[in-house]
Amino acid sequence: MGESRTEQHVVLGEGVYDGKKVHQVKIEGKKEGLITYDLKTGNWMRTVVDGSTVGSAQPYEDIFRYPLEVGKKFQSEYFYFDYTISGKGSTNVNVLSFAEVHVPAGTFMAYQITAEQFVNMSGNMTAGIPSYRHLKRLWYSPDLKIIIKIEDRDNRESHVTKTELLEYSEP
């Protein structure tokens, strides 16, 4: 089982990356980092830790395709890079429901979405591991325009990461 850790993510506001408007989210915890999300779509673009890019994906069309609707299914393809691996990735997405979700920051209406992500890897950490798989279940609030809850299962270390919105204030 993988190492246990606690991180806090703090939304810093808007910025620009790769010519696109982005949300910038600071990671506070064991290592300082910055996550960049496409402001228009909400999709992840890159993660920077200690000043170095440790992960990125192109194009930036992954989990969110609008309009979100219960029953909507689609697949996206992209090139994935992180500090140990890289490869062609794909995500199978299924919008399951729209309902009230309770998190520490409050109760919000949210879409429940599953995203099964695969990366066929190459790189210095792939010995005996031909592919990388994540199964994510996330809840996206269209009113807040952010993910309020995530459950992420990773097959490399067989662990589950759970994330919830702790607090929210109107911008």
Query: pTM value?
Result: 0.75
- Predicted pLDDT of residue 125: 47
Domain of 86, CATH number, reads: 2.40.360
- Residue 111 domain-assigned? yes
Reported as a single tens digit per residue, the pLDDT across 20-31 is: 888 788 877 656
Q: What is the pLDDT of residue 98?
A: 98
pLDDT (0 to 100) of residue 4: 52
Whether 48 is in a domain gets the answer yes
d(Cα 117, Cα 89) in Å, to the nearest integer?
7
Q: How many CA atoms lie within 13 A of 72 on its CB side?
A: 14
Q: Is 81 domain-assigned?
A: yes
Tens of pLDDT, residue by residue over 89-107, are 888 999 999 999 999 999 9
**What is the b/e burial string over 30-45, where b = at least 16 CB atoms within 10 angstroms of the residue's CB?**
eeebbbbbbbebbbbb
Domain that holds residue 21: 8-164
Return the pLDDT at 33: 79
Q: How confident is the model at residue 1 (pLDDT cuts 50, 70, 90)?
A: very low
What total number of domains does the chain contain? 1
At 36-64, the pLDDT tens digits run: 888 777 788 888 888 788 888 787 777 88
* Chain segment 113-169, per-residue pLDDT in tens: 999 988 776 654 445 555 667 788 999 999 888 888 988 876 655 667 788 888 887
Contacts of 169 (CB under 8 A, 6+ apart): none
Is there a domain that residue 59 lies in?
yes
**What is the C-alpha separation between 145 and 58, in angstroms, rounded?**
22
Task: Check pLDDT > 60 for residue 87.
Answer: yes
The CA–CA distances, whole Å, from 140 to 19, 37, 54, 101, 104 equal: 25, 14, 25, 10, 15
Give the pLDDT score at 159: 67
Of 168, 164, 166, nearest to 149 (Cα)? 164
Per-residue pLDDT at 114: 94
Q: Is 1 a domain residue?
A: no
CB-based contacts of 29, cutoff 8 Å, min separation 6: 5, 6, 7, 8
User: Strand 106-122's sheet: what is its strand order?
Assistant: 8-17, 20-28, 33-38, 44-49, 52-58, 73-82, 86-103, 106-122, 131-141, 146-154, 159-164
Whether 83 maps to a domain, the answer reads yes
